[in-house]
Amino acid sequence: MNFEWLKTGIGPLKDLLTFLTQEGKTNDILKKQVLRELRNNLNIFHNAFLNNVSPDVMIDMLSNDTIKKAVENNFKFKKLKPGTIEPYHIKDDRNKKYTGWDADKLVDKIDEKIEELKNIKKMNNNSVEKVKNNVSLMLSNLYYRMKLLADFIKGPK
């Protein structure tokens, strides 16, 4: 798979991963688990880029289990970061359309995209190799949404 879209976002990723590890040191168990899942999913993209991993493997490894658990427990994702995404939170031009969104809405879209990718894979003999969907674009959109969430959480209040 071509990961050219990931080249520009990979540099600042190390700082975000370190930040998420630090931010995850909280007594709020669900918040800690959500931050951990976000960090692990971003790490999957980082390592897939370095090792030229197939989209099928990436999709299998991406997780939204904690998001589902948090929803079941009525977790308010605004606990990750209150307020809305402002232009100064946005590091990538492609994310400008998310200005005004809150953590709750962004996490919902991340969850939706992970589910969609897993379902497309299941519907096509457990592989996205021959699907008509633009899986590369879908993965790219997912990555940049997750990166935006991390940038938002990290950014100024």
Tell me the whole-structure pTM to 2 decimals. Answer: 0.84
pLDDT > 60? residue 9: no
Residues 59-98: pLDDT tens digits? 999 999 999 999 999 999 999 999 999 999 998 899 999 9
Name the residue range of residue 144's domain.
4-154
Residue 157's pLDDT band (cuts 50, 70, 90): low
Number of domains in the chain: 1
Given a contact cutoff of 8 angstroms between Cβ atoms, the answer to whether 39 and 63 are in contact is: no
Nearest CA among 78, 98, 108, 76 for reference residue 144: 98
Kindly report the length of the chain. 157
Residues 33-46: pLDDT tens digits? 999 999 999 999 99
- Element (DSSP H or E) covering residue 116: helix 103-123
Helices and strands of the chain, counted as H and E runs: 7, 0
